Amino acid sequence: MATGFSVLDALNENSKRGIDATPKARFRTKDISIHKIYSNARNFYPQEGIEEKAGEILTVGLIENLAVMYAPSEEGEYKLISGERRWRALKLLVERGYTEYELVTCQVRNPANSHEEKIELIIANSSRDKSVATLLREESELKEELRYMKENGMKIHGRDLSEGKLRDVIASMLHVSGTKIAQMETINNNLIPELKEEIEKDNIKFSTAYELSGMDEEKQKEALQKLKDSGNLSYKEIKEMKNEGSEKVSEYDTEDEPDIPVEEFTSQLPDVEEYETPHPEGITSLCYSCKRYIECNVRTSTCTSCDQYINKTEAYKSQEERYSEEQDKIDRETKKKLQEIDDEKKMEILPSDRKRIEIEKAQEGLLGYVCGELCSKTQADSCEKVCENCKLMNYVEQLKESYERDYRK
């Protein structure tokens, strides 16, 4: 039997190259033994709270599936992309005798290359709670992968990275504003290694780190020494160092977190979206009906006017709906025009004349109906030959005479 070609090898190779890997709402799943899955060495996120996660799974079951890629090695058949904490928790449960948790449903991903694999791993973890150190590393490694792909003309799931700023792409993937990404870049590029080590130990908060990154190396070393001496480095102390020989430190500064006006520092807070001059202005929000709501980083609940607004309902209308609306609009305009013409004709006739004309029309119609349909004494369908004693016609004549009297008055 020939051994030069294998269908399975070809299919696996196609999967590795990311054949038809454009983003979709549907995906392929497979029940896989946790013993065939192995950890991704490129996953830099802390694996904490495994015991708590195991308890959660034991109570309500696994709510979210794992994401893996087929990559056979000595460690196993499938490499993890997303869900390592869940995988570790499942292993812990199986070790404790809960063998029903050995099989786990996985989404089988097909990243085209190692760069796409790393980006998928980062995006899968983008919404979790992170320390300042993890946040900075996440931005740095994502930028490194995207920069390589951009410089080499590569695409990420069909997205052309040559269009737009790389900072904006990173911001959209990490669900933060471009301002926040710029702050992370400043910290990563300007902070001395010794202070970065302190960030790893959770001794420096994001706002303090950002202020430190704006100081020269000598000032940073001085701040590091203060941290070692006191065991703490507050935002107020950094502001005092930056303002030595100049103005007094603002009365808004505190020992813990900066509590200064929004326009000066809101964008530096680590756990909220940064301040950015918003497009919207007003007190009642349009954001909820905007097509760009999800991607917009300045959405508010007080927007009545926005230069970026796209009506979501209008944007997703079908051609049939648009055609129907156009026809309805034409019908409304036609009806309005006919009503205006009718009103103009009515204005040409005095109210008293209109009343007289209406009575005459009613009389003629009623006379014909009485003679032709109700009166058995009509002759030759002639409306002029009416019985003089017809009570209904007499009543009509009385109405006419009453109108004529009123008209003469």
What letter represents residue 102's amino acid?
E
Torsion of Cα atoms, 324 then 329 then 335 then 341, to 10°: -150
Q: What is the pLDDT of residue 38?
A: 95
- Tell me the per-residue pLDDT of 161-191, one tens digit each, with 9 for 90 and over: 777 788 888 888 888 888 889 999 999 999 9
pLDDT level of residue 355 (50, 70, 90 thresholds): low
- Tell me the per-residue pLDDT of 296-339, one tens digit each, with 9 for 90 and over: 777 776 777 887 888 877 877 777 778 888 888 888 888 888 88
For residues 103-137, b (16+ Cβ closer than 10 Å) or e, as one string?
ebebbbbbbbeebbbbbbbbbbbeeeebebbbbbb
Q: What is the pLDDT of residue 270?
A: 42
Q: What is the pLDDT of residue 246?
A: 47
Lowest-pLDDT range of 55-59, 163-167, 168-172, 225-229: 163-167
Task: Indicate whether 9 pLDDT > 80.
Answer: no
How many Å apart are CA 314 and CA 291, to the nearest integer? 9
- Tell me the per-residue pLDDT of 385-404, one tens digit each, with 9 for 90 and over: 455 556 666 666 776 677 66
Task: Indicate whether 68 pLDDT > 90.
Answer: yes
How many Å apart are CA 386 and CA 112, to the nearest integer? 98
Going 246 to 249 to 255 to 259, the CA torsion angle's sign is: negative
Task: Indicate whether 232 pLDDT > 50.
Answer: yes
The kind and range of the H/E element at 110 are: none
Who contacts 209 (Cβ-Cβ below 8 Å, separation ≥6)? 132, 187, 191, 195, 199
Beta-carbon neighbour count of residue 94 at 10 Å? 16
Lowest-pLDDT range of 27-31, 63-67, 151-155, 380-384: 380-384
Nearest to 261 by CA among 246, 270, 273, 251: 251
- Tell me the per-residue pLDDT of 20-39, one tens digit each, with 9 for 90 and over: 556 677 788 899 999 999 99
How many Å apart are CA 380 and CA 231, to the nearest integer? 120
